[in-house]
Amino acid sequence: MGGNHGHHPGELSDGEARSRALESLLREKGLLQGDIVDKIVDVYTSDIGPLNGARAVAKAWVDDSFRARLLDNATAALREIGIGGMQGEYMVAVENTDAVHNVVVCTLCSCYPWPVLGLPPTWYKDAPYRSRVVREPRAVLAEFDTHLSDDVEIRVWDSSSEMRYLVLPQRPQGTEDLAEDQLVELVTRDSMIGVTVLPDYHAGVTA
């Protein structure tokens, strides 16, 4: 919890200010045209994340050694499978168990692990989620239809420009016979933020 933020709400970080300045300069010089920036955003939304996170989670479920490396040093473990870069330089993976449930927030702004989860959902950036999930995580999770029993400890992780978190959700019941690439498809963005848990799997039933 806690940690220093490199920036504050309503204030551009150095990186944001630089990227805006760069974008206007490139437009002015005619080097950046049309909707290229939107296309980059699309790539982050649909191609890069949250599929990357799902790949890491499914691999951790089937490969104990990778799971151990992910929990020990997520940045390095993610790099093994080709995930890394902007907004994901220092990653920490936190594992859900029968006793502990993890959820991620950025209380000051909207720090988020882009390379693993793509773009943050709107609610993640909104003030109500950012303030309430710290004070009353159980109530906030219930609003996502996540009802945890009282004996499950909830840990809330506050992201910062230095540290981004990835929740390793529990492998769903009923997936013992599934291959890694089938498991990838079951992992949702929200389960990796920690606001939901993955439902039991029933062969032949698609979500």
**Are residues 86 and 118 in contact, defined by beta-carbon separation less than 8 angstroms?**
no
13 in catalytic set: no
Which of 122, 149 has the CB closer to Fe ion? 122
Q: How far is it, in rounded angstroms, from Cα 36 to Cα 28?
A: 14
**CB nearer Fe ion, residue 107 or residue 175:** 107
Residue 106 touches Fe ion, criterion: CB under 5 A: yes
Piece of the chain touching Fe ion by CB under 5 A; list 23-31, 98-106, 122-130, 168-176: 98-106
- Nearest residue (CB) to Fe ion, 160 versus 175: 160
User: Whole-angstrom Cα distance, residue 78 to residue 62?
Assistant: 15
Cβ–Cβ under 8 Å, residues 104 and 194: yes
How far is 139 from 59, CA to CA, in rounded Å?
A: 31
Residue with the shortest CB distance to Fe ion: 111
Let me know: does 44 contact 114? Beta carbons within 8 Å: yes
Q: Is 191 in the active site?
A: no
H runs (alpha helix) in the chain: 14-28, 36-42, 51-62, 64-72, 74-80, 114-117, 122-125, 127-135, 137-143, 180-184, 189-193
The least CB distance from residue 170 to Fe ion, in Å, is: 27
* 26's tokens: 């490139």
φ, ψ dihedrals at 104, nearest 5°: -115, 145
Whether residue 161 lies in the annotated active site: no
109 classed as catalytic: yes
Stretch that binds Fe ion, among 37-45, 107-115, 133-141, 196-204 (CB under 5 A): 107-115
Residue in 109, 159, 160, 161 annotated catalytic: 109
Taking CB under 5 A as the binding criterion, the range among 79-87, 99-107, 143-151, 176-184 that sits at the site for Fe ion is: 99-107
- Annotated catalytic residue: which of 46, 106, 131, 149? 106
Among 77, 111, 133, 184, binds Fe ion (CB under 5 A): 111
Answer for which of 109, 116, 167, 195 binds Fe ion (CB under 5 A) is 109
Write out the catalytic residue numbers.
106, 109-111
Using CB under 5 A as the criterion, which residues of the chain lie in contact with Fe ion when the complex forms?
A: 106, 109, 111
